[in-house]
Structure 1
Protein backbone atom coordinates (compact mmCIF):
# COMPACT_ATOMS: atom_id res chain seq x y z
CA UNK A 1 0.00 0.00 0.00
CA UNK A 2 2.91 2.36 0.70
CA UNK A 3 4.10 1.96 -2.86
CA UNK A 4 0.68 3.00 -4.19
CA UNK A 5 0.63 6.18 -2.09
CA UNK A 6 4.13 7.05 -3.27
CA UNK A 7 3.22 6.38 -6.91
CA UNK A 8 0.08 8.47 -6.56
CA UNK A 9 2.07 11.32 -5.02
CA UNK A 10 4.63 11.22 -7.84
CA UNK A 11 1.90 11.23 -10.49
CA UNK A 12 0.10 14.15 -8.85
CA UNK A 13 3.36 16.10 -8.58
CA UNK A 14 4.13 15.48 -12.24
CA UNK A 15 0.62 16.54 -13.22
CA UNK A 16 0.93 19.81 -11.31
CA UNK A 17 4.36 20.53 -12.80
CA UNK A 18 3.26 19.75 -16.34
CA UNK A 19 0.13 21.86 -16.06
CA UNK A 20 2.25 24.76 -14.83
CA UNK A 21 4.71 24.61 -17.71
CA UNK A 22 2.38 23.73 -20.55
CA UNK A 23 0.02 26.66 -20.39
CA UNK A 24 0.09 27.98 -23.92
CA UNK A 25 -1.54 31.03 -25.29
CA UNK A 26 -3.12 30.84 -28.70
CA UNK A 27 -1.21 32.82 -31.29
CA UNK A 28 -3.15 35.57 -33.01
CA UNK A 29 -2.63 37.08 -36.42
CA UNK A 30 -1.14 40.51 -36.89
CA UNK A 31 -4.31 42.26 -38.04
CA UNK A 32 -4.29 45.87 -39.15
CA UNK A 33 -7.04 48.11 -37.79
CA UNK A 34 -8.24 45.60 -35.18
CA UNK A 35 -8.11 47.16 -31.70
CA UNK A 36 -6.98 45.25 -28.64
CA UNK A 37 -6.66 46.35 -25.05
CA UNK A 38 -3.84 45.95 -22.59
CA UNK A 39 -1.28 47.96 -20.70
CA UNK A 40 1.82 49.93 -21.53
CA UNK A 41 5.03 50.32 -19.55
CA UNK A 42 8.27 52.07 -20.50
CA UNK A 43 12.00 51.51 -20.96
CA UNK A 44 14.89 53.76 -21.95
CA UNK A 45 15.29 53.46 -25.72
CA UNK A 46 19.07 53.84 -25.50
CA UNK A 47 19.18 50.72 -23.31
CA UNK A 48 17.94 48.48 -26.15
CA UNK A 49 20.53 45.72 -26.53
CA UNK A 50 20.51 42.36 -28.28
CA UNK A 51 17.33 43.40 -30.09
CA UNK A 52 15.27 40.46 -31.38
CA UNK A 53 14.02 42.07 -34.59
CA UNK A 54 17.52 43.04 -35.67
CA UNK A 55 18.57 39.45 -34.93
CA UNK A 56 16.52 38.26 -37.90
CA UNK A 57 18.62 40.67 -39.98
CA UNK A 58 21.76 38.99 -38.60
CA UNK A 59 22.55 42.10 -36.55
CA UNK A 60 21.30 42.22 -32.95
CA UNK A 61 23.08 45.49 -32.28
CA UNK A 62 21.11 48.66 -32.84
CA UNK A 63 22.15 52.10 -31.72
CA UNK A 64 18.70 53.01 -30.41
CA UNK A 65 18.06 56.59 -29.48
CA UNK A 66 16.06 57.65 -26.42
CA UNK A 67 13.96 59.84 -28.74
CA UNK A 68 12.80 56.87 -30.86
CA UNK A 69 9.19 55.76 -30.54
CA UNK A 70 9.87 52.04 -30.35
CA UNK A 71 8.15 49.12 -28.67
CA UNK A 72 8.65 45.58 -27.46
CA UNK A 73 5.91 42.95 -27.19
CA UNK A 74 5.70 39.22 -26.56
CA UNK A 75 6.22 38.27 -30.19
CA UNK A 76 5.25 34.64 -29.62
CA UNK A 77 1.66 35.81 -29.16
CA UNK A 78 1.47 36.40 -32.90
CA UNK A 79 1.24 33.75 -35.61
CA UNK A 80 4.63 33.87 -37.31
CA UNK A 81 6.22 35.44 -34.21
CA UNK A 82 9.32 37.53 -34.75
CA UNK A 83 9.22 37.40 -38.54
CA UNK A 84 5.62 38.59 -38.70
CA UNK A 85 5.45 41.29 -36.02
CA UNK A 86 8.94 42.78 -36.21
CA UNK A 87 9.20 46.28 -37.65
CA UNK A 88 5.43 46.71 -37.77
CA UNK A 89 3.88 49.82 -36.23
CA UNK A 90 1.29 50.17 -33.51
CA UNK A 91 -0.99 53.06 -32.68
CA UNK A 92 -1.15 52.99 -28.91
CA UNK A 93 -3.91 55.02 -27.25
CA UNK A 94 -4.52 55.98 -23.62
CA UNK A 95 -7.60 58.14 -23.18
CA UNK A 96 -7.45 60.90 -25.80
CA UNK A 97 -3.67 60.61 -26.36
CA UNK A 98 -1.97 58.33 -28.86
CA UNK A 99 1.43 57.58 -30.32
CA UNK A 100 2.72 55.42 -33.18
CA UNK A 101 5.62 53.16 -32.23
CA UNK A 102 7.59 50.60 -34.24
CA UNK A 103 8.10 47.12 -32.78
CA UNK A 104 11.80 46.27 -32.71
CA UNK A 105 12.13 43.84 -29.80
CA UNK A 106 10.61 40.87 -28.04
CA UNK A 107 9.43 41.19 -24.44
CA UNK A 108 9.37 37.59 -23.26
CA UNK A 109 8.33 38.66 -19.75
CA UNK A 110 5.33 40.61 -21.09
CA UNK A 111 1.89 39.06 -21.14
CA UNK A 112 -0.38 39.26 -24.18
CA UNK A 113 -1.55 42.83 -24.70
CA UNK A 114 1.41 44.32 -22.83
CA UNK A 115 3.28 46.91 -24.90
CA UNK A 116 6.64 48.01 -23.50
CA UNK A 117 7.31 51.45 -24.99
CA UNK A 118 10.40 53.60 -25.11
CA UNK A 119 10.15 56.45 -22.62
CA UNK A 120 9.72 59.02 -25.39
CA UNK A 121 6.69 57.12 -26.71
CA UNK A 122 5.26 56.42 -23.25
CA UNK A 123 5.36 60.09 -22.22
CA UNK A 124 3.12 60.92 -25.21
CA UNK A 125 0.46 58.91 -23.33
CA UNK A 126 1.14 59.56 -19.64
CA UNK A 127 3.72 61.01 -17.25
CA UNK A 128 6.82 58.87 -16.64
CA UNK A 129 6.00 58.57 -12.93
CA UNK A 130 2.73 56.79 -13.75
CA UNK A 131 4.78 53.81 -14.94
CA UNK A 132 1.85 51.74 -16.22
CA UNK A 133 -1.15 52.90 -18.23
CA UNK A 134 -4.23 51.12 -19.61
CA UNK A 135 -4.25 51.26 -23.40
CA UNK A 136 -5.82 50.15 -26.61
CA UNK A 137 -3.57 49.40 -29.55
CA UNK A 138 -3.86 48.46 -33.18
CA UNK A 139 -1.45 47.62 -35.96
CA UNK A 140 -1.19 50.45 -38.48
CA UNK A 141 0.85 51.07 -41.60
CA UNK A 142 4.14 52.69 -40.65
CA UNK A 143 4.51 56.18 -42.05
CA UNK A 144 7.53 56.33 -44.33
CA UNK A 145 8.15 60.05 -43.97
CA UNK A 146 7.11 63.12 -42.04
CA UNK A 147 7.59 64.60 -38.61
CA UNK A 148 6.15 61.54 -36.88
CA UNK A 149 8.92 59.26 -38.14
CA UNK A 150 10.66 58.58 -34.85
CA UNK A 151 12.22 55.13 -35.22
CA UNK A 152 15.07 53.49 -37.08
CA UNK A 153 15.07 54.12 -40.82
CA UNK A 154 16.54 50.68 -41.41
CA UNK A 155 15.04 48.37 -42.37
CA UNK A 156 12.71 50.18 -44.70
CA UNK A 157 9.03 50.31 -43.80
CA UNK A 158 7.14 47.18 -44.92
CA UNK A 159 4.70 47.48 -47.79
CA UNK A 160 1.79 45.46 -46.36
Structure 2
Protein backbone atom coordinates (compact mmCIF):
# COMPACT_ATOMS: atom_id res chain seq x y z
CA UNK A 1 0.00 0.00 0.00
CA UNK A 2 1.47 3.35 -0.98
CA UNK A 3 -0.08 6.62 0.09
CA UNK A 4 1.49 10.02 -0.36
CA UNK A 5 0.78 12.09 2.72
CA UNK A 6 1.76 15.41 4.20
CA UNK A 7 4.78 15.02 6.43
CA UNK A 8 6.62 17.67 8.36
CA UNK A 9 10.16 16.39 8.19
CA UNK A 10 13.01 17.58 10.35
CA UNK A 11 16.18 17.97 8.36
CA UNK A 12 17.97 16.26 11.20
CA UNK A 13 21.52 17.31 10.58
CA UNK A 14 20.70 21.01 10.56
CA UNK A 15 17.72 21.05 12.91
CA UNK A 16 15.64 23.03 10.39
CA UNK A 17 12.01 21.95 10.03
CA UNK A 18 10.67 21.85 6.48
CA UNK A 19 7.23 20.80 5.18
CA UNK A 20 7.50 17.92 2.69
CA UNK A 21 5.29 15.30 1.06
CA UNK A 22 6.08 11.78 2.32
CA UNK A 23 4.89 8.70 4.19
CA UNK A 24 5.42 6.69 7.38
CA UNK A 25 5.75 2.91 7.11
CA UNK A 26 6.92 0.21 9.53
CA UNK A 27 9.66 -2.42 9.46
CA UNK A 28 11.07 -5.22 11.64
CA UNK A 29 14.28 -3.84 13.14
CA UNK A 30 17.50 -5.73 13.70
CA UNK A 31 21.08 -4.47 13.59
CA UNK A 32 20.71 -0.80 12.67
CA UNK A 33 22.97 1.64 10.86
CA UNK A 34 23.98 3.18 14.20
CA UNK A 35 25.58 -0.12 15.25
CA UNK A 36 23.04 -1.42 17.78
CA UNK A 37 20.46 -4.18 17.57
CA UNK A 38 16.80 -3.35 18.18
CA UNK A 39 13.54 -5.28 18.18
CA UNK A 40 9.87 -4.69 17.31
CA UNK A 41 9.12 -3.33 20.80
CA UNK A 42 11.68 -0.53 20.71
CA UNK A 43 10.51 3.05 20.05
CA UNK A 44 12.76 3.76 17.07
CA UNK A 45 12.77 5.25 13.59
CA UNK A 46 14.80 4.80 10.41
CA UNK A 47 15.33 7.79 8.13
CA UNK A 48 16.08 7.95 4.42
CA UNK A 49 19.57 7.57 2.99
CA UNK A 50 19.79 11.23 1.86
CA UNK A 51 19.98 12.33 5.53
CA UNK A 52 23.11 10.27 6.29
CA UNK A 53 26.32 12.25 5.92
CA UNK A 54 29.11 10.32 7.68
CA UNK A 55 31.17 7.72 5.82
CA UNK A 56 30.74 5.47 8.87
CA UNK A 57 27.00 5.47 9.72
CA UNK A 58 27.81 4.48 13.33
CA UNK A 59 29.29 7.96 13.73
CA UNK A 60 26.60 9.87 11.84
CA UNK A 61 25.29 12.96 13.67
CA UNK A 62 21.71 11.68 13.19
CA UNK A 63 22.29 8.57 15.31
CA UNK A 64 20.29 8.71 18.54
CA UNK A 65 18.58 12.03 17.67
CA UNK A 66 14.98 12.14 18.78
CA UNK A 67 12.07 13.06 16.56
CA UNK A 68 8.43 13.46 17.50
CA UNK A 69 5.87 11.86 15.20
CA UNK A 70 2.29 13.21 15.18
CA UNK A 71 -0.80 11.57 13.72
CA UNK A 72 -4.49 11.58 14.64
CA UNK A 73 -4.01 13.68 17.77
CA UNK A 74 -1.36 11.31 19.12
CA UNK A 75 2.38 11.78 19.30
CA UNK A 76 5.38 9.54 19.92
CA UNK A 77 9.01 10.51 20.38
CA UNK A 78 11.38 7.99 18.80
CA UNK A 79 15.17 7.70 18.42
CA UNK A 80 16.87 7.58 15.03
CA UNK A 81 18.81 4.30 14.96
CA UNK A 82 18.68 3.11 11.40
CA UNK A 83 18.92 3.96 7.72
CA UNK A 84 15.87 3.27 5.57
CA UNK A 85 17.28 2.11 2.25
CA UNK A 86 13.92 2.27 0.45
CA UNK A 87 12.85 5.61 1.94
CA UNK A 88 13.33 8.80 0.05
CA UNK A 89 14.29 12.07 1.73
CA UNK A 90 10.71 12.67 2.89
CA UNK A 91 9.81 9.25 4.29
CA UNK A 92 10.36 7.45 7.59
CA UNK A 93 10.18 3.81 8.63
CA UNK A 94 9.24 3.06 12.25
CA UNK A 95 9.24 0.00 14.49
CA UNK A 96 5.95 -1.89 14.92
CA UNK A 97 5.73 -0.51 18.48
CA UNK A 98 5.65 3.04 17.13
CA UNK A 99 3.28 2.27 14.25
CA UNK A 100 0.78 0.49 16.56
CA UNK A 101 0.41 3.68 18.63
CA UNK A 102 -1.13 5.32 15.53
CA UNK A 103 -2.96 2.50 13.76
CA UNK A 104 -3.00 -1.20 12.87
CA UNK A 105 0.07 -2.49 11.03
CA UNK A 106 -2.22 -3.88 8.32
CA UNK A 107 -2.60 -0.30 7.05
CA UNK A 108 1.06 -0.34 6.07
CA UNK A 109 1.25 3.44 5.58
CA UNK A 110 -0.06 6.34 7.65
CA UNK A 111 0.11 10.09 7.30
CA UNK A 112 2.28 11.82 9.88
CA UNK A 113 4.06 14.96 10.90
CA UNK A 114 7.64 14.58 12.09
CA UNK A 115 9.68 17.18 13.97
CA UNK A 116 12.92 17.35 15.89
CA UNK A 117 12.22 16.67 19.57
TM-score (norm 2): 0.74
Q: Which has the higher contact order (CA 8 A, sep 6+)?
A: 2
CA RMSD of aligned residues (A): 2.0
Q: How far did residue 44 of structure 1 move?
A: 2.2
Structure 2: distance between partners of 1:126 and 1:88: 24
Q: Does 1:52 align with 2:33?
A: yes
Aligned match of 1:128: 105
Structure 2: distance between partners of 1:114 and 1:134: 10
Q: Within 5 Å, give how 1:71-150 maps onto structure 2.
A: 71-77=45-51, 80-81=53-54, 82=57, 83-140=60-117
Structure 2: distance between partners of 1:35 and 1:125: 22
Of Structure 1 and Structure 2, the greater strand share is in 2
Contact kept in structure 1, 2:47 and 2:87, CA below 8 Å: yes
Structure 2: distance between partners of 1:112 and 1:72: 11
Q: How far did residue 30 of structure 1 move?
A: 3.3
Of Structure 1 and Structure 2, the greater helix share is in 1
**Count of residues in correspondence between the two structures:** 101
Structure 2: distance between partners of 1:120 and 1:30: 27
Aligned match of 2:26: 42
Structure 2: distance between partners of 1:89 and 1:111: 19
Structure 2: 5+ residue stretches without partners = 1-10
